[in-house]
Chains A and B, each alone.
Chain A
């Protein structure tokens, strides 16, 4: 079949990575928060903050790298509010999560309007970091080894988290903070500190994912551009049951799903944009229908920890 040309396959896989990367980063972050017992519904807001800040920094400094740093910082900033309200003060995580998402949606749209009015400036070409000589391998080379630095970072992170969860003291502390915070407290570990650390890292990762979206994948910031990606990342984290490798698989499955339609459009098959936008959500619902029962979450998820309370 003529559809499966080399260019089609390259478009498909490059698209899968571009669309899957934000999900991977945010999903890994959410997994970390959930392990520590914080259901981070504000993930969408953290991504969007990262997308906005990343774009603005990259646009004004002309540096993609600084854009990514800015995006991560913005995500962490939103997360610090989550830490203050949910971890420290013990407010309802769901309410605050929704509030933060709405707040970032409103604020970034306002800020974008103040700065750019109704224009949407584009960033210049995307720089990649080819890993020579691997980047010269036909087909695989350009897809896997001629990528943005963030892509390599995200892949390394999967291994890094898997190692932390399985091999380190920090990993078991995280697990305990999510399953039995009181026990962790008795063991002399500061539950608040573990949870705060987890949520801040989540924010930074989600922010980086958002920045990847605006800076590397789209090259432009549009208000509300994360369009539910944060919520999809939450589903990925739920289905992955604490395993980073599953988040990776899920993220690129969704990325591929999104990019398949784009690749089809490139190949000349006309698919309306609204149908494309439905696809990831339809997939999530389908996956939940089939595998939902297997999804699992920590025992004390969503419960704020109060020292000495029974």
Chain B
């Protein structure tokens, strides 16, 4: 596969400078438009299901943002999602498709869920336990990213495929671990031992919002600064923009590729750790929130900007929290948020297309 040229993910966010008069209106339309279009198309799907879209969206906003309990749940879920966003941004900016986040996330989650309650009973102090848990999560995630990294760096094998394969493998493996190895003998539900609530990540300011949110925000901003303000980030972006140019600039592309994979997979693993230590407390058998692929359109919407992604992650978090509540109340299964995400990717692509067309016209 030496002659293969994978299209870098960065290709999607080329040239965003609006041209000509009314530029900012256009720029605003290009970034908000896909979102509105996706919600409108999703509304058509709801109509076809016999559900009033306004009722549905209204319900989602009401439950996930306007009610205090819902808002707290929305903010709590943002923690793991932001870490996934950070994981994707590092990879995508460096031109690498790490689509194996689900496996990295889940295996890390299982490892953390297996280790932390056990260490706690062994007498490890809560804070140390939490710190070790986060490290375990990041390490296991990174470990699951090693093989695709090596295959890409040494043999040039398309990482889209290998990360996907590792993801399916990891999800099944995580299930094997939960069901066969780390089963909690004290309950009948197939799940790992539960980390007591008082031993989890602390909650913020007397609310139920987990401090995982803080970890997520700090990391995504740190990643943003790393990619935009440091020499290392600059090298990664160069590899992403043009691997050939990077070679000519004297960069070791294989080494950088492995570095990117390690960071990206470690962040996905950290996300799993934060979800367990902050929210879940254990892993149930067959649990797989499958965050990774659904965050892909969000980071593209944010044009791989870490700070910008926070707003979109908030929106998506609200959509899923509200959607889960609507599944019970309005009979719309939570698969609906999957449809929205897919539509978002498509409308986003179309917006890019229109933007490019407009620029081409302006140039001629």
Contacts and interface: CB of A to CB of B under 8 A. Distances in A.
Interface residues of B, number: 56
A293 B3 CA distance: 11
B11 A92 contact: yes
B333 A110 contact: yes
B345 A110 contact: no
Interface string B137-171: 00000000001000100011110111011101100
A295 B157 contact: yes
Interface string A102-140: 110111011001100000000000000000000000000
A102 B157 contact: no
B45 interface: yes
A3 interface: no
Interface string A260-284: 0000000000001011011001101
Contacts of B337: 106
A159 B88 CA distance: 42
A228 to B, nearest CB: 4
Nearest to B12: A92
Contact of B7 (A94, A101, A297): A94
A90 interface: yes
Contacts of A223: 335
Contacts of A296: 1-4
Contacts, number: 162
A172 interface: no
Contact of B333 (A99, A109, A277, A301): A109
Nearest to A102: B342
Contacts of A278: 169, 172-173, 176
A109 B300 CA distance: 25
Interface stretch (B58-66, B191-199, B219-227, B346-354): B346-354
A92 B338 contact: no
A94 B97 contact: yes
A182 interface: no
Most chain B beta carbons < 10 A, residue from A105, A106, A113: A106
Contacts of A96: 345-346, 349
B158 A238 contact: yes
B180 A272 contact: yes
B353 A295 contact: no
Residues of B contacting A: mostly: helix
Nearest to A96: B349
B295 to A, nearest CB: 12
B294 interface: yes
B256 interface: no
B345 A102 contact: yes
B160 A106 contact: no
A228 B102 CA distance: 13
A254 to B, nearest CB: 12
Most chain B beta carbons < 10 A, residue from A223, A227, A301: A301
* Contact residues on A (Cβ < 8 Å of other chain), bracket: 35 or more
Nearest to A235: B161
A144 interface: no
Interface string A27-70: 00000000000000100000000000000000000000000000
Contact of A281 (B4, B172, B175): B172
Contact of A95 (B45, B147, B294, B345): B345
A278 B349 CA distance: 34
Interface string B277-298: 0000000000000000110110
Contact of B338 (A90, A105, A234, A302): A105
A92 B349 CA distance: 7
A98 interface: yes
B1 A295 contact: yes
A99 B297 CA distance: 9
A285 B162 contact: yes
A107 B45 contact: yes
B106 interface: no
Interface in B1-37: 1-7, 9, 11-12
Contact of A106 (B1, B168, B339, B348): B339
Interface of B: 1-7, 9, 11-12, 45, 49, 97, 99, 147, 151, 155-158, 160-162, 164-166, 168-169, 172-173, 175-176, 179-180, 293-294, 296-297, 300, 332-333, 335-339, 341-343, 345-346, 348-350, 352-353
5 smallest beta-carbon distances between A and B, as pairs: A106-B338, A103-B342, A99-B345, A106-B339, A102-B342
Given A113-B333, A303-B5, 6 more contacts: A96-B349, A102-B338, A278-B173, A281-B168, A288-B162, A297-B158
11 contacts: A41-B160, A93-B7, A94-B6, A94-B7, A96-B349, A102-B342, A231-B168, A274-B175, A281-B165, A281-B169, A288-B161
